[in-house]
Amino acid sequence: MESINALMLAVVGHTNTGKTSLMRTLLHDSQFGEVDSRPSTTREVTSIDVEADGQTLIRLFDTPGLEAGSDLYEHLVQSESNFRHDGPAQVRHFLNTMAAGHEFEQESKVLRQLLKCHAALYVIDVRDPVLPKYQDELSVLARCGKPILPILNFTGQKPNHVNQWKLALTKVNLHAHIEFDAVSPPDGGESILFNRLSAIVPGFHQQLEQLAQYRQQQREQRLDTGLTQIAELLVDVAAFHEHIKPNTEDAQLKPIIESMQNLVKRRERNCVTEMLALYAFRLEHVRLQQLRLNDGQWKDDLFEIDTLKEFGIKAGVGLGSGAAIGAGFDLMVGGASLGAGTAIGAAIGGAWQGWTHYGKKLVGHLKGERELIVDDEILKLLTLRQMNLLQQLATRGHGSQALLMVTQSSKLREQFLRALSTRLKLARRNPQWSSLNQRSFVRDAQRQACVSDVTELCRGFWSQS
């Protein structure tokens, strides 16, 4: 969308300093341009608009890399006396010479574009030392009479020469600069960049402030959506149950367990894909390590110690397994009909207020039926992996070429994981909340409340990290 008030910025610099990578990160577009270690990857000027709320606020121009800066500097020095105190006139004169279209073709494209722009971002690869060719380039660019904001790129990689570059920039009166790594941008880096630009091109303060606020809102919305996607995954997996008929042989369990494992893996992969899309990355940018799943186990939340405590039942020594607790219920039933809810209620002192919900499970258990669920360790592992992925995406620049690794190496505080396990117990008791149980899936208000609860817990942990 065209806008006469757009700030026109030329992104300039020596070959292979990361100009296109910076563009990708500023645009949140990992597909923009071509990034290659070979010189002169960018041969022509390419422009693209940066918008907020449908309005173009900045127009960026990706320019070819400067290669003959020192030679051009020497060439211009020869005619300098004819354009004393008028660098732009000297540059325009040069652009009309034969040399501009031949030995300095690349440099001429850059200078022509810079003359049309309001300012320039000069990209510096701080892994390189301060060399005369870079200083000559800055001298040539300064002749265009446009404000220049140096961008210190690749500051996260060691060793580097960032301090030497800062000193060198002050010697040519470039005191405003910013450390902005296109691979791993600093926290709040976009806002800092826009503020620095506002200082050197004050006529565009309103546009830059609007863009900074818009980008901040986007960051917050992406984080909220990402945390919700993680919560949806955890509720889906926690509520995932497979009903096992009585007298099912162990050999018959294997394909059921494998099917459950594949569904859980597919559900995690879908979550990864959704989160990558949220941050404008694709699945090819990430390596998802194989999710290690155990062979499952016979578990039923009806016979968990915490569930018994919830109903006022004190589990004594030896009641730590489903079988032992089941035997305890057999004794409490005392030969009464399995449908005798009042008898069970009386047997446990009237604390059985959840009989409507748990009655069928208890009857099924006493008939030899079971439900296979995904255990807590897998839920913990999924949480570790997805929170790790979200953290990496929130700090990853779109100029990064490295594969993003989703591993289980991240560590979360045990207090957070215990609180998460407690909140997911409600999902355990509602298998209809899992989209993996497709035949019975229900997305009701209670499920949404559970997802929101888990999301808020994850957000609280995130804010403390």
Q: Mean pLDDT by 10-residue block, N- to C-terminus, for the chain (465 residues)?
A: 75 92 90 62 82 92 92 91 90 94 93 96 96 94 96 93 95 91 88 93 93 94 97 95 75 80 89 92 75 51 46 40 40 39 40 46 55 82 88 88 70 83 90 89 94 95 82
Report helix, strand or coil for 50.
strand
> For residue 407, what pLDDT is reported?
66
Query: What is 247-316 written as a DSSP string?
Result: T--HHHHHHHHHHHHHHHHHHHHHHHHHHHHHTT--GGGEEEPPP-----EE--GGGSHHHHHHTTPPP-
Query: Helices 189-200 and 205-238 sit at what angle, rounded to 10 degrees?
Result: 170
Buried (b) or exposed (e) across 123-152, using 16+ Cβ within 10 A?
bbbbbbebeebbbbbbbbbbbbebbbbbbb
Report helix, strand or coil for 121.
strand
Q: Is residue 219 classed exposed, middle or buried when 0-12, 13-18 and 19+ CB atoms within 10 A define those classes?
A: middle
Model-level pTM greater than 0.85? no
> For residue 316, what pLDDT is reported?
41
Q: How far is CA 431 from the centre of its chain?
A: 30
Domain ranges of the chain: 7-200, 219-296+374-464
Cis peptide upstream of residue 159 (ω within 30 degrees of 0): yes
Q: What is the CATH number of domain 7-200?
A: 3.40.50.300
Query: Residues in the chain, how many?
Result: 465
> For residue 34, what pLDDT is reported?
67
> For residue 352, what pLDDT is reported?
41
At residue 335, what are phi and psi to the nearest 5 degrees? Answer: 85, 0
CA distance 91 to 144: 7
> For residue 1, what pLDDT is reported?
43
Closest CA to 379 of 235, 261, 241, 272: 235
Report helix, strand or coil for 77.
helix
Angle at CA of residue 378, ends 372 and 380, nearest 5°: 135
> For residue 377, what pLDDT is reported?
81
Buried (b) or exposed (e) across 79-91, using 16+ Cβ within 10 A?
eeeebeeebeebb
Evaluate whether 35 touches 401 at the Cβ level (below 8 Å). Answer: yes
> For residue 362, what pLDDT is reported?
52
Evaluate whether 36 touches 287 at the Cβ level (below 8 Å). Answer: no
Alpha carbon separation from 245 to 252, 367, 421 (Å, rounded): 11, 9, 27
Alpha carbon separation from 443 to 434, 436, 451 (Å, rounded): 9, 12, 10
